Amino acid sequence: MKKRLLSLALLANIYFAQGQNFIKRNGTELVLSESGEKIMLRGLAFGNRVWINDPVPSEHHTEADIERVSKIGMNCIRFYMNYQTFESDAAPYTYKDAGWNWIDQNIAWAKKHNVYLILNIHVPQGGFQSQCKGDALWTNQTNQDRLVALWKAIAEKYKNEPQIAGYDLLNEPTPSGTIQNWDNLATRITDAIREVDNNHLIILANAIALGCNYSFNDGKNNFPRTEDENVMYTLHSYDPYEYTHQNQAWAGTGEGGKYPDPNVLTPPNDLEFATGQYNNKKLPTGNSDWTYFKGLPFKITNEDYILGRPVLYGQMLGTGSAFYDDVTINEVDANGNVIREVLKSDFDANTKFYFWKPDAKSGEASTATVGHTDNFSIKVTGTDDYSTTILNTLQFKPEMNKYYAISGWMKGEAIPTGSNAAISMEFYTSKSGAPVLTRDYEYVKTNILHLSNILREWGYPVYYGEFGAVRECFGEKGGQIWVKDVLHVLDSLGFHFTYHDYREDAFGLYKGDNGIVDESTVNQPLYDAFITYFEEKATSITPLTESSIAQVYPNPSKDDFNLSFKTPVSGSLQVYDETGRNILSKNINSATLISFGELLPKGFYFGRLVINDKPLAFKISKQ
């Protein structure tokens, strides 16, 4: 393994050849300023114990760790910094020699091992931003002044240091008041840097929230605009969040499932209610024990209905309570005879629901400790008007002209006359006509394109400064496949990236953040995913070779291409153009040979082949 890594590092250093010149923006690309050679930044983040306010985190890593990053095949480290490394609140604007010495030492190590550093203020004066706890940066002008001055001091000291790839001004800003406050601060910092340093790339992040409103969007994804030309924009993505952060108490997540998973649906952001099925039998008045309620058939007559969900309907319950459990949705015929089961749920702690009622009306939905076959159900009570409890983790794709029926168990306590408690379904459309996606490569690609679309329109380089998944995602849950898919999408789009992060208990390639790295704590599936990716990049293993699962030929081609497999295989093939647009998809069912691409226009294309959940990449040329 050591020999393999040394060989890989040598190839990577050739691939990522670095001259003693600065990284500059050239349209949507980054180039070395003297040679004009294109460069891609690909690497890891170093957390540097910023969350515990360690002023000089010398215990976080040594030269050996930067060398280890280089041997993987990476050429970049996003270097997290806490303002307290440079100044204290008791002595603002007085910068510490110990902080500069620590940065200098890391630059020397990075230079020795051909790794760039992206300097990032992760914790500014006023507090860490991401969790809506750093409002003092926005409400206290002095904190902003100190941050501007600090960046000017950093730029003054390192203006002639080409081992620094760029200045990442502020991690995940959460401005309060107006979104313009981030535009104004970013402009102030940029102007201050440019007073002393015209060499370095400036990296600008979008505000992830306005105040504590994480759904706020100003129409340009909260990115600050700038007149500075030497700029790259950065995004962070951990989607799907419930998967990448699963079983983390601090994140408020439970079991997040696996990747890929065709049964997990992700609707578009502009989902709108279309219609509901509300004619199922309701609970009787008074008290009733658990009773099974069989649903009536509902026909899908509109092709725009892209998503269906179970809904628990509760109207005018007053002091009465309705209990719901064990819901099943079936595809049925017109007479209600079951054709197949679509979804089924015995409600538990992982069942998420959303309770809706008209404004100023009363009522609530909660979990109950009594159930049909266990100690869990959903309870609705206190309503004085309509209410719906939407089970937004239970959803399905309806098909045109098919019938569906929802059935389940209900129990009533003191149900008043005139109430209506029933198990129902609702159906939704997308305002923009966007599809429902499953948890797979297409979801990853669509999400990345959606987040970066405005930056591509503006014509700037795009940098995914953070993406990652917790250790619970890897192994049988497919985290390594998710990482490979993200890497493939980013690579196909020409986006730069740093994975979060090198060492920490939740996301780290290695565990811990103090002392010598214990190599036995490596996240092996993640490590292997990186090694495979960088080995392919360093040795240009495209197109598929004779020793691979498949061979693509002829390549280049004037007509169609053939994929030949050594044994019959099943899987899928996608072909993308150079902008990342999916232009061809094909299923493979127990085949040894398939043909594709006859109608492709001239140009270069990226192929993605998935066989037995193993993604393989290749490049083809149509002449």
- pLDDT for the residue 582: 66
Q: What is the mean pLDDT of residues 607-621?
A: 75
- 9: pLDDT strictly greater than 50: no
377 to 352, 367, 524, 610: CA distances (angstroms):
12, 6, 40, 40
Task: Spell out the long-range contacts of 243-248 with Cβ–Cβ below 8 A and sequence spacing 24 or more.
Answer: 243/439, 243/469, 243/473, 243/482, 244/468, 244/469, 244/470, 244/473, 244/482, 245/470, 246/470, 246/472, 246/473, 247/470, 247/472, 248/470, 248/472, 248/506
- 386: pLDDT strictly greater than 50: yes
Q: In terms of pTM, does the model score above 0.85?
A: no
pLDDT band (50, 70, 90) for residue 616: confident
Distance of alpha carbon 319 from alpha carbon 114, whole angstroms: 70
Closest CA to 461 of 166, 129, 197: 166
Distance of alpha carbon 144 from alpha carbon 149, whole angstroms: 9
pLDDT band (50, 70, 90) for residue 544: low
- 18: pLDDT strictly greater than 80: no
Point out which residues pair with 164 in neighbouring strands. 117
Distance of alpha carbon 23 from alpha carbon 34, whole angstroms: 9
Distance of alpha carbon 202 from alpha carbon 557, whole angstroms: 42
Q: Tell me the pLDDT tens digit for each residue of 74-102.
A: 999 999 999 999 999 999 999 999 999 99
Q: Tell me the pLDDT tens digit for each residue of 427-441.
A: 999 988 888 999 999
> Residue 221: helix, strand or coil by DSSP?
coil
Average pLDDT of the chain to the nearest whole number: 91
Distance of alpha carbon 366 from alpha carbon 377, whole angstroms: 9
Could you tell me which residues come within 8 angstroms of residue 161 by beta carbon, excluding any fewer than 6 positions away? 107
Q: Tell me the pLDDT tens digit for each residue of 579-603.
A: 556 678 888 888 889 999 988 888 8
For the CA atoms of 554, 556, 561, 563, the dihedral, rounded to the nearest 10 degrees, stands at 60
Helices 441-458 and 479-493: crossing angle in degrees, nearest 10, is 30
Contact by Cβ (8 Å): 500, 467: yes
Report the 3 state secondary structure along 84-95. Answer: HHCCECCECCCC
Contact by Cβ (8 Å): 268, 446: no
Would you give the distance in Å from CA 268 to the centre of its chain? Answer: 15
Is the bond leading into 501 cis (omega within 30 degrees of zero)? yes
Numbers of helices and strands, H then E, in the chain: 10, 29
pLDDT band (50, 70, 90) for residue 272: very high
